[in-house]
Amino acid sequence: MRQSRLDRYLLENPALAHRYEKIKTKVPRLVISGYDITNRCNLRCKGCYFFDGDRSSQFSDDRTLQEFDAFFASEVERGITMPHFAGAEPAKVPERLALAAKHWDRGIIYTNGTLPLDPNLPFMLHISLWGAEKTDAQLRGKHAFKKALDNFANDERAIFIYTINRQNISEMREVAEVCAQRRVQLSFNHYSPTRWYGFSGADLQGDVLSRGKGRFSSHDDQLALREEDLQTIRDTILELLEKYPATIIYSRYYNERINNPQGMFRLDPETGIANNCVILNAPHHREYRTDLTWDDADCCIPNTDCATCRHYVANYSKIMGEFHHHLDNADDFEKWLEVYETWCRLNIRNWND
């Protein structure tokens, strides 16, 4: 029988084979779908992915617990193995999360971290973080980072996700130092402007700037990243990976790809929607709204503008879906594997055990 390129790489490098086998064993069937389980939140943050647009927050939030229970059961039947719970703030509806835990033993909760969550929930917690103390309070209306540290610093499920934007790039080192001191794990996300604004760059028009609950007040007071910011972000993350290897969870190869000014997505010229987004095109993935309806045009962040999307969920998934494009040589395969391993560290409990 003819030996495949992958077989040869694994045979020649037993350590590589062990890493690949661990993924196949611990994540044998990865089927992701997303659920906005409430439109309630205790914060109103600048650049909020949920409230900044009309593709998520306008739907009703009046389904009963019995309806949620039946719905979650039907999603398991549909084959979903990795649910992502978001919304506004999932911690506002602990009874719905408790029902979800009846049906799944793994998944992700996206939370601002300022409210407690049942320690018995089996899901990983991705805690949003928007800067050091002053910027955090400015963008979120309260000291959310400090409260989240108080709530979850000793919770092994918790990973703080720092959303890098134009206003907080200079604070990445300070926040990494705080996380290292508190012994919490930290990863990074890139702020991605929403469809609400169309293109949210230096050419924003005045009428656009005034929309969206006043999130952007001028050309110089906005969150959207510029091309020149990407090199700074790339170099800073490399520096932090070297300085805080026990704190930072991030892929070096992903760091190269995500900070390429060209971006990863190819757009349909008529719709402006990415036609090579793994999440948008995955047959099982749906992004359910609070009324338990869904739309084919919605990805993991329904309001995001595909043209400027650098969101970590979509872009990690994009590279993970490029398996066959990374088989030309062992080095390329190892880059792909490192991205997948990083995703597992972010999303699978006890991955390092």
Token representation of residue 327: 């088989």
Domain that holds residue 82: 31-321
Q: How many CB atoms lie within 10 A of CB 283?
A: 7
**Number of domains, the chain:** 1
* Exposure letters 57-78 (e unless 16+ CB within 10 A, then b): bebebebeeeebeebbeebeee
Asked if residue 3 belongs to a domain, the reply is: no
Integer Cα distance of 280 and 275 in angstroms: 8
Residue 4 falls within a domain, yes or no? no
Q: How far apart are CA 340 and CA 241, in angstroms?
A: 17
* Residue from 85, 135, 139, 136 nearest 108 by CA: 85
What three-state secondary structure class fits 142? coil
Is 26 part of any domain? no
Each residue's pLDDT expressed in tens, for the chain with a length of 353 residues: 556 999 999 999 999 999 999 999 999 999 999 999 998 887 766 666 665 655 555 677 889 999 999 999 999 999 999 999 998 899 999 999 999 999 999 999 999 999 999 999 999 999 999 999 888 878 777 889 999 999 999 999 999 999 999 999 999 999 999 999 999 999 999 998 876 653 444 444 433 333 333 344 455 667 889 999 999 999 999 999 999 999 999 999 999 999 999 999 998 888 888 888 888 888 888 889 889 988 766 666 666 778 889 999 999 999 999 999 999 999 999 999 999 999 999 999 999 88
Query: Please, what is the end-to-end C-alpha distance for the chain in angstroms?
Result: 36
Identify the pLDDT of residue 196.
Answer: 60
Assign residue 255 the CATH number of its domain: 3.20.20.70
Residue 253 forms part of a structural domain: yes
Q: Would residue 315 count as lying in a domain?
A: yes
Residue 128 lies in a domain: yes
Residues 6+ apart with CB under 8 A from 210: none
Q: Position 28: which residue type?
A: P
Cβ-proximal residues to 109 (8 Å cutoff; 6+ apart), any chain: 85, 86, 90, 91, 97, 117, 121, 123, 124, 125, 126
- Structural domain includes residue 328: no
Single pTM value for the model: 0.90
Residue 348 domain-assigned (yes or no): no
Cα 287 to Cα 22, 31, 90, 190, 298: the distances in Å are 29, 13, 15, 20, 6
